[in-house]
Amino acid sequence: MELIEKHRSHRGYQEVYKHFSLTTNCNMNFAVYSPDESKDCPLLYFLSGITCTEQNFIQKSGFQKFASENQIAVVVPDTSPRGEDIPDNENYKLGCGASFYLNATQDPWSKNYKMYDYITKDLPNLISNNFQFSKSKVGIFGHSMGGGGAIQCALKNDLYKTVSAFSPICSLHKTEFAKEMFDNYLGNNHDQLDLYDPITLIKKSNKKFENIKIDVGLKDEFLKDLYIDDFISECNAVGQNLIINKHEGYDHGYYFINSFIKDHISYHSTILKNI
């Protein structure tokens, strides 16, 4: 790990590190916010949306104040592999910044785009070995592509005890956001896509959370392409409790996240500290 940024923020430090990942076969950046009293504190992972890096959330969301107040650490990975030799595309829905947090199976993407393994295995191991955060009080949340990514990771891994999302993409089968990804990363293999699709997973998962918290703006320009109501219906069918907040006037961007980030940090903190 190489420390490339360190900033005092509220009662803690916002840092950014670079490391080489054997999983993605390239250098990866991740951000970590540590409150001053961080030993054995709860830990959250935040997964960002399409086109983002680790920088968007740490600069625009204002989460540090609330992470400090709740004494909770927050790790923010990049959204994809990056570099001169990393496959990319001019379409913002494909390539760098658009990993969809899955393991690509098709060339040339499969060499580097192993973001599911990076998020759920490589990065947690790195954090566990280099920081003194709790190894059991761990949650995950995200926005848009990362909101759906947080849900699918949480449903498949015992590591995560809490999950929430801002404006998550809930149907990879239906959303326009995922069409190019489906063709290029997974070769249009529906069985492969099922491994990462939140709606499919909620139908099949034996794992239940106390609840799943979702916030979405009703002025979200992508609202119909998120399929949140379909996800709600499937959760109701299988008995998964939800906390759904639909907010008048808010769109898809970081003004929305900034407005409700306090609620998400408090939601995770309250549950994790009682585990």
In the chain, what are the domains?
2-272 (3.40.50.1820)
Res 62: pLDDT: 97
Convert the pLDDT of each residue in 36-55 to its tens digit.
999 999 999 999 999 999 99
- Per the annotation, the verdict on 252 as an active-site residue is yes
Res 157: pLDDT: 96
Convert the pLDDT of each residue in 263-274 to its tens digit.
999 999 999 999
Question: Per-residue pLDDT averaged across 76-99, rounded?
Answer: 96
pLDDT band at 237 (very low <50, low <70, confident <90, very high): very high
Out of 38, 61, 220, 268, which one is annotated catalytic?
Answer: 220
Question: Per-residue pLDDT averaged across 85-89, rounded?
Answer: 96
Convert the pLDDT of each residue in 135-192 to its tens digit.
999 999 999 999 999 999 999 999 999 999 999 999 999 999 999 999 999 999 999 9
The pTM score is 0.97
pLDDT band at 123 (very low <50, low <70, confident <90, very high): very high
Out of 48, 80, 99, 144, which one is annotated catalytic?
Answer: 144
Give one DSSP letter per residue of the chain, joined into a string.
-EEEEEEE-SSEEEEEEEEEETTTTEEEEEEEEEESS-TT--EEEEE--TT--HHHHHHHS-HHHHHHHHT-EEEEE-SS--STTS---SSTTSSTT--TTSB--STTGGGT-BHHHIIIIIHHHHHHHH--S-SSSEEEEEETHHHHHHHHHHHH-TT-SEEEEES----TTT-GGGHHHHHHHHTT-HHHHHTT-HHHHHHH-----S-EEEEEETT-TTGGGT-HHHHHHHHHHHT--EEEEEETT--SSHHHHHHHHHHHHHHHHHHHTT-
Out of 252, 264, 268, 269, which one is annotated catalytic?
Answer: 252
Provide the percentage of residues in the chain whose pLDDT is more than 90: 99
Res 204: pLDDT: 93
